[in-house]
Chains A and B, each alone.
Chain A
Amino acid sequence: AQKVTQAQTEISVVEKEDVTLDCVYETRDTTYYLFWYKQPPSGELVFLIRRNSFDEQNEISGRYSWNFQKSTSSFNFTITASQVVDSAVYFCALRPKTSYDKVIFGPGTSLSVIP
């Protein structure tokens, strides 16, 4: 079975705090891709990052960083020094490498950054 779990339904932080969004996945495939998407209050879905299952290097992009740990099947997303513009719903997703339709989305985590 393939599944993506985002246990945190809603998170509230005060501006400038760091926050980590958890993502745990299940798959029997040996090759797969993991993604994070952002959905701000305006409603559009924005692709943030992709990670290949063979590449466990962490990635940093400005205030955003991603920690991929295959041993624990986790792909966590950290926002450093959060800002009000980070308020959004964040989705983690999983896709087997050879499947074009089997993109499994997590239920999302709603992040509110309070000024």
Chain B
Amino acid sequence: DAGITQSPRHKVTETGTPVTLRCHQTENHRYMYWYRQDPGHGLRLIHYSYGVKDTDKGEVSDGYSVSRSKTEDFLLTLESATSSQTSVYFCAITEGVGGGNTGELFFGEGSRLTVL
């Protein structure tokens, strides 16, 4: 058990409203990620973090922002949700690569977001 919890697990919202998804980990892992999963696209990286206040963009970052003010929490914000952001969002952690760590990802249970 990688100790990752996501909240909320399900959310329905309307176009134009802000939405924040939270990822919380209990294992003090350095690297945290947000992915979205859509039919036909597999898993795509939105943003990731390599430490407190250190974040970077992934391949589908437009329309999303992130923040990491504490090691254990990584927040994903949709400033103004659109229907194209209807998806299942997964948070993941890893210890990174090197020092004996090999970078496998461990995922949270997912958050299903529907934007009407």
A-to-B contact residues, CB < 8 Å: 33, 35, 37, 43-47, 50, 52, 91, 93, 95, 97-101, 103, 105-108
Contacts and interface: CB of A to CB of B under 8 A. Distances in A.
B102 interface: yes
Contact of A50 (B31, B33, B102): B102
A95 B88 contact: no
Contacts of B41: 107
A107 B58 contact: no
Contacts, number: 59
Given A44-B110, A107-B40, A100 B103 contact: yes
Interface stretch (B16-24, B43-51, B72-80): B43-51
Contacts of B88: 43
30 contacts: A33-B97, A33-B102, A33-B103, A35-B104, A37-B105, A43-B88, A43-B109, A43-B110, A44-B107, A44-B109, A45-B107, A46-B107, A47-B105, A52-B102, A91-B43, A93-B105, A95-B97, A98-B97, A99-B97, A100-B50, A100-B96, A100-B97, A101-B33, A101-B48, A101-B58, A103-B103, A107-B40, A107-B41, A107-B42, A108-B42
Contacts of B56: 101
Interface of B: 31, 33, 40-45, 48, 50, 56, 58, 88, 90, 92, 94, 96-97, 102-107, 109-110
A12 to B, nearest CB: 19
Given A101-B45, A105-B42, A47 B106 contact: yes
A107 B42 CA distance: 5
A50 B104 contact: yes
B22 to A, nearest CB: 17
A31 B102 CA distance: 11
A33 B97 CA distance: 10
Given A44-B107, A46-B107, A100-B94, 17 more contacts: A35-B104, A37-B107, A43-B88, A43-B110, A44-B109, A45-B90, A45-B105, A45-B110, A50-B104, A91-B42, A95-B97, A95-B103, A98-B97, A105-B42, A105-B43, A107-B41, A108-B42
